[in-house]
Chains A and B, each alone.
Chain A
């Protein structure tokens, strides 16, 4: 069965410091991995997906199939990065484009 693990419920970093939000997954096959973000008082929105290999708002994430990880990284955290971050996967086992989410990590960037 599929599983997405985000080991940190809470993560605090100082402004300007590097940030890494961890995501590990379990899936039989080749999933597509996503990071979704929810800023305060806003709806859940797509941050990035591994298939597009983009850098959004300075964030990057590399799919490591050997370690089954998809960690989200940013070299210099900004206060506006404070939000709830969810790692998610989809694939044939989850059913088409349906998403299987982790429990989320709340990132706080300290000024």
Chain B
């Protein structure tokens, strides 16, 4: 089991562009959460998807949106990119929602905005 996989590994964009990041959860997991980790900071929760719906959302603007597919994989979309969006984006998967199940993290996608 490869665990949580994320693509791409690295991405460079310019201000104003749009980006899509992808995540495949660990086998047997049905819940996907996304986190943003700025340099020198801990991960910050963006949102969580379960049963193809956004269930929880952190303090992020509407420029950040997502999607979950029937196979439980997920995408994170960011529109109108700002310099401050440069960060490591982590995907974490778990089984179920509201059960405090341990989250398993991927390696992340490093997004750089020029």
Which A residues touch B94, using CB under 8 A?
97
A102 near B42 with CB under 8 A, answer yes
A43 near B99 with CB under 8 A, answer no
Cβ distance B112 to chain A, nearest Cβ, rounded Å:
19
Task: Give the A-B pair count, Cβ closer than 8 A.
Answer: 64
Which A residues touch B98, using CB under 8 A?
96-97
Which B residues touch A43, using CB under 8 A?
3-4, 105-108
Contact of B101 among A4, A94, A97, A104 (CB under 8 A): A97
Cβ distance A27 to chain B, nearest Cβ, rounded Å:
14
Residue of A nearest to B105 (CB): A44
Q: Count the B residues whose beta carbon is within 8 Å of the partner chain — how many?
A: 30
Which A residues touch B56, using CB under 8 A?
95-96, 98
A49 near B102 with CB under 8 A, answer yes
Residue of A nearest to B3 (CB): A43
Instruction: Tell me the dominant secondary structure on chain B's binding face.
Output: loop
Which B residues touch A110, using CB under 8 A?
none
Question: Using an 8 Å CB-CB cutoff, how does the interface string of B77-114 with A read, 1 for contact, 0 for none?
Answer: 00000000000001010100111111111111000000
How far is A38 from B94 in the complex, measured between Cα atoms in Å?
18
Question: What are 19 pairs between A and B in contact, CB < 8 Å?
Answer: A43-B108, A44-B43, A44-B90, A46-B104, A86-B42, A88-B42, A95-B45, A96-B98, A96-B99, A97-B33, A97-B94, A97-B97, A99-B33, A99-B35, A99-B45, A100-B45, A101-B42, A102-B42, A103-B41
For the complex of A and B, list the 10 residue pairs with the smallest distance between their C-beta atoms, beginning with the closest: A101-B42, A95-B56, A44-B105, A96-B98, A97-B100, A98-B45, A43-B107, A46-B102, A101-B43, A103-B42
